[in-house]
Amino acid sequence: MKKSLVVLVLLGSFCGGFIPSEDFPSAKITNGEIEAELYLPDANRGYYQGTRFDWAGVMPRLEYRKHSYFGIWNPAKYDPKLHDAIAGPVEEFVAVGMNEAEIGGEFLKIGVGSLIKPDAKPYSFNTPYQIKNGGKWTVKKSIDKIEFTHVISDAAGYGYVYRKTVKLLNGKPEMVLEHSLKNTGQKPIETQMYNHNFFMIDNEPTGPNIYTSFPYEIKAEGKGFGSIAKTENRAISYTKELESGNFVFTAGLQGFGLSPDDYDILIQNLKTGASVQITCDQPLEKFVYWACHTTSCPEPYIKLSVKPKEEVKWKINYKFIAR
C-alpha cells in the first residue's frame, strides 16, 4: 500500500517538481536566506540507489525569496535504481579502472562504490551495474550544512575517503559544495567529475525564458543546436519551447580557457527574474550541455588526479539571485 501511495504522489507531482520526503531519509538546511532539502544516502531506503551519480547531495528542493531552483524533473519514470532518478546539483565521477578490470572484476565509481564489470562492453551510465562494495556512509547534520563521508577500502586495489559538505553561507544567498578526496588505496585515482545541475528554476519549461550565459564567446554542435538552441552573444538561448520527449545536447561546448575564472555560468529565468551563478576554484576540463522539457543542465567537468596517500580538495559555489 505504501509503495502505491508513493507512485501516485510521484505521478501527480510533475508540475510541482517536488516529492514529499516522508518515504525517504532526508534533512533540511537553512541559513535564513535559503532553505533546501536533501535526500540522504541509504542502500535500502534512499531516494537514489543507482550506480551513475554520487549518492551525496541529492536535492529535490531549494528555495530563495519564494523562487524554486531544483525539483523532480523526471517523476513519471521513478525507480530508485534508475540512473537518472535524481535531482539537484548532483555530481558524477567518471568510472575508474574499468578498462583494466577483467570481466567479473571490480571497477570504481566514487560516491557509489566498487561495481562488477559484467562484460567487455565499455562503461555506460544506462547500465544498472551490480554494487560489490558499497563502502560506508556517514552523515553529519547541522542547521545550515550537511557533511557526507564515504569510505571505501579493499576495492581491487582502490580505496578512498571522500567528503562532501553542502553548506549555506551565513547571511548570504549562496551555497558551497566543498569536496575532499583522499586516496587510501594502492592504485592512483585518475578521473573526471562533473555536476549535472538539474535546474528547474520556478518550474519554467526549457525555452525562450531560460537563458544561460558565460564570460566568453561559446560555440556548440550537437542535437538541436543551430535550430532550437542558439549559441550567440556569449549565451545559450532557445528559439522555442522544447516539446516533451525532445532534448538538446552537445558533448563539447567550446570557448573556455585554462583559468578557473572560466568556470563561470549564469542561468536565468527571464520571466520570473530568478537566476543562479556557478563558479569553481578549478579549471574546466570539458563542458557538456543537455536539456529536456523540464530541466536545463550545464555540465562542467574538472579533472582529478590523486596518487596513493594524497588528498585533493575543491569547491563549487552557487550564488542565487532573485529580483
- Name the nearest CA neighbour of 218 among 260, 259, 265: 265
Q: Is 21 left (phi over 0), alpha (psi -120 to 50) or beta?
A: alpha
Q: Are 181 and 110 in contact (CB under 8 A)?
A: yes
Can you tell me the distance from the alpha carbon of 292 to that of 271, in angstroms, rounded to the nearest whole number?
A: 18
Q: Taking CA 288 as the corner, what is the angle to CA 282 and CA 294, rounded to the nearest 5 degrees?
A: 115
pTM of the entire predicted model: 0.92
**Residue carrying C-alpha cell 556557478:** 278
Alpha helix (H) residue ranges in the chain: 2-12
Q: Are 85 and 50 in contact (CB under 8 A)?
A: yes
Can you tell me the distance from the alpha carbon of 47 to that of 157, in angstroms, rounded to the nearest whole number?
A: 30
Q: What is residue 78's predicted lDDT score, i.e. its pLDDT?
A: 87
Q: Is 156 left (phi over 0), alpha (psi -120 to 50) or beta?
A: left
Radius of gyration of the CA atoms of the chain, in A: 19
Contacts of residue 200, defined as CB under 8 A and 6 or more positions apart, other chains included, come to: 17, 68, 69, 70, 71, 73, 294, 295
Contacts of residue 70, defined as CB under 8 A and 6 or more positions apart, other chains included, come to: 17, 59, 60, 61, 62, 87, 88, 89, 198, 199, 200
Q: Is 117 left (phi over 0), alpha (psi -120 to 50) or beta?
A: beta
Give CA torsion, residues 295, 259, 310, 163, to 10 deg.
Answer: -30
pLDDT, mean of each 10-residue run, the chain (323 residues): 33 40 88 98 97 98 98 87 95 96 97 97 96 97 98 94 98 98 97 98 98 97 96 97 96 96 98 98 98 98 98 98 92
Q: What is residue 25's predicted lDDT score, i.e. its pLDDT?
A: 97
The x, y and z cell numbers of residue 25, run together, are: 531519509
- CA 226 to chain centroid: 26
User: Helix %, strand %, coil % for the chain, to 5?
Assistant: 5, 45, 50
The x, y and z cell numbers of residue 18, run together, are: 517536488
Can you tell me the distance from the alpha carbon of 23 to that of 284, in angstroms, rounded to the nearest whole number?
A: 37
Burial grade of 3 (CB within 10 A; 0-12, 13-18, 19 or more): exposed
Q: What is residue 267's predicted lDDT score, i.e. its pLDDT?
A: 98
Can you tell me the distance from the alpha carbon of 119 to that of 109, in angstroms, rounded to the nearest whole number?
A: 17
Q: What is residue 23's predicted lDDT score, i.e. its pLDDT?
A: 82
First to last CA, the chain: 44
Neighbours of 224 (CB within 10 A): 19
